[in-house]
Amino acid sequence: MTHKQEVEIDGIPYEVEYIIHRGASGLHTLPNGDPGYPDDPDEIEIVSVITYDEDGHEIDATYKLADDAADALEI
């Protein structure tokens, strides 16, 4: 399921579309008594980062700003 959120990067508003991939739960102890393994963290996949110029034309900044957009998301 994709989500959308508006974020601001360097004072410019962007519409960010993203997918959250939930991590797998870890296991404290294996059935044989050996130590288990930690949880896998959730991951964010950025689908698109869009802004608009002063004339209302769409500007795709996904390639350039995907990492910045992921950092700016409030999740």
Could you read off the pLDDT of 23-62 as tens digits, one per residue? 999 999 999 999 999 999 999 999 999 999 999 999 999 9
Give dist(CA 64, CA 46) in Å, integer.
Answer: 12
Number of domains into which the chain is organized: 1
C-alpha 52: how far from chain center = 21
Which residue's structure tokens are 């930690």? 38
CA neighbours closer than 13 Å in the CB half-sphere of residue 35? 2
Q: Are 21 and 41 in contact (CB under 8 A)?
A: no
pLDDT number for residue 20: 95
**Taking CA 45 as the corner, what is the angle to CA 43 and CA 46, rounded to the nearest 5 degrees?**
140
pLDDT value, residue 5: 97
| Domain, as residue range, for 65 | 2-72
- Radius of gyration (Cα) for the chain, nearest Å? 18
